[in-house]
Structure 1
Amino acid sequence: MPTVQPLVTAIRAGRLNYEAGLRLQQQFAKQNVKQYAEFRNYLLLMEHDPVYTIGIRTKGYTAEDEERLRKLGADFHRTDRGGLITFHGPGQLVAYPIIHLRQFTPSIRWYVNTLERTIIETCRRLGIANATTTADTGIWIGDKKICAIGVHGSRYVTTHGIGLNCSTDLKWFEHIVPCGIEGKGVTTLSEQLGHQVTVSDAIATFLQSFASVFKCDVQEQTDKESSQISNIKTNVI
């Protein structure tokens, strides 16, 4: 008999502040299920208001740094994801897979590698053939990062995810050392392709790539789920 592929429901959450996005993740990750096969997998897609986030390796960022960055008009959050400091904001596709790895492959290393391949495939489908991984985290085009990756796993359930620069204002990155990597830059899909690429433009291609690389079925949220999501968003914003 053919193997049944895992099912993932894509949720287009729109633009949210980081705190709301974080709490939305928590709502979906804390499912009350007794068996992993009953876990409902989700892929939360959104944009954030301007925010700087730091992972579990803070690398010397102090309260003074936090105050300096907040004065730029951005929020600031310390998180439990991997990686160092990065920026999220308008024009960036933020994707948070909330999936149970026992329905896929029970390995964080496999998961990160598969996320990387998903972004590379997304770039390829959009017309960028030279996106790749390096010794540094994330996805790169030459010496410029186009996508940041920072994940967290607990009991095989994933949270956090990726930030793919579509038409992000890169000036925000000038105030930090993105992901703690000295001497390298940041780029966007729009910059690489020579025309405007919005988050909406990138989502369809990303979903196709996610389904292909993760070997899963991706379905859009139903009307009933859309209503449930609206209620959750109302309660977390």
Structure 2
Amino acid sequence: MLQPAVRLVWLSQVPYAELLALQQRWLRRLQAEPGTEAGALLLCEPAGPVYTTGLRGGLTSEETARLRALGAEVLPLGRGGLATFHGPGQLLCHPILDLRPLGLRLRTHVAALEACAVRLCELQGLPGARARPPPYTGVWFGERKICAIGVRCGRHVTSHGLALNCSTDLTWFEHIVPCGLVGTGVTSLSEELQRHVTVDEVIPRFLEAFKETYKCTLTSEDSSS
């Protein structure tokens, strides 16, 4: 059986707003012609610090002002979840997918993203990563989260996705309660492996995990498309 083809778009290190703009173009493309293609996998490393909030909010106006005073952007998004941080040293993966050609539902899409991150950690030599039962999302080492997940789905088309800490400066997370989870912490591949792990290093293994998990092929597309 022929596997669905997903377009791979690697943006390198870019402002977070550039990722959001490309996401919107792909959303319009898939929603204009539903069922004609599986979609795109958008990957980037944020060029600067950004705090984002989901549909459930998570920041007061005073907190927003305090975070902006640190030199970070603060952006409300239409994804699930609460507040989290994105910045240099983090792999952002936004699969803009029509779930129907892939034979997926929203819950299985979220589980597949978790499985991708777990598999990547295994390929990097970290077999202890795991997903946790609902209502938790993401991937964890013990009580510390290494990968946050927040998605949106409308008319069977997904947006947003996961943020995997590779060599992220974890002190940025100290200014919020990440994802609204009290009593838990964050970690990174660099922290767990005790060496500097770049986003560029993990991308080939992440793509391997994505193809395995989603049972698809990946074809390259220029980021300007």
Global fold match (TM > 0.5): yes
Question: Following TM superposition, by how much is the alpha carbon of 1:62 offset from its aligned partner in structure 2, in angstroms?
Answer: 1.4
Match for 1:11 among 3, 9, 13? 9
Question: Following TM superposition, by how much is the alpha carbon of 1:188 offset from its aligned partner in structure 2, in angstroms?
Answer: 0.5
Q: Is the 8 A contact 1:92 1:199 kept in 2?
A: yes
Question: Following TM superposition, by how much is the alpha carbon of 1:78 offset from its aligned partner in structure 2, in angstroms?
Answer: 0.5
State how far apart, in whole Å, the 1-side matches of 2:54 and 2:68 are.
Answer: 17
1:1-237 to structure 2, matched below 5 A, reads 3-31=1-29, 33-36=32-35, 38-48=36-46, 49-59=48-58, 61-135=59-133, 136-221=136-221, 226=222, 229-230=223-224
State how far apart, in whole Å, the 2-side matches of 1:35 and 1:43 are.
Answer: 17
Under a length normalisation based on structure 2, what TM-score does the superposition of the two structures give? 0.94
Percent identity, aligned pairs only, is 45
Structure 1 runs, 4 residues or longer, greater than 6 Å off: none
Q: Give per-residue Cα distances to partners, 1:89-119, cap 9 Å, x unaligned.
A: 0000000001110011241011101111111
Matching residue's letter, 1:111: H
Q: Is the 8 A contact 1:8 1:218 kept in 2?
A: yes
Question: Following TM superposition, by how much is the alpha carbon of 1:39 offset from its aligned partner in structure 2, in angstroms?
Answer: 2.3
Q: How many residues align?
A: 221
Under a length normalisation based on structure 1, what TM-score does the superposition of the two structures give? 0.90
State how far apart, in whole Å, the 1-side matches of 2:5 and 2:68 are.
Answer: 39
Question: Following TM superposition, by how much is the alpha carbon of 1:164 offset from its aligned partner in structure 2, in angstroms?
Answer: 0.2
State how far apart, in whole Å, the 2-side matches of 1:9 and 1:194 are.
Answer: 34
Matching residue's letter, 2:49: P
Q: CA RMSD in A?
A: 1.3
Question: Following TM superposition, by how much is the alpha carbon of 1:79 offset from its aligned partner in structure 2, in angstroms?
Answer: 0.6
Question: Following TM superposition, by how much is the alpha carbon of 1:35 offset from its aligned partner in structure 2, in angstroms?
Answer: 4.4
Aligned to 1:235: none
Q: Give per-residue Cα distances to partners, 1:123-179, cap 9 Å, x unaligned.
A: 111111010012422100011100000000111111000000000000000000000
Gaps of 5+ in 2: none
Gaps of 5+ in 1: 233-237
Matching residue's letter, 1:169: D
- SS at structure 1 position matched to 2:147: strand
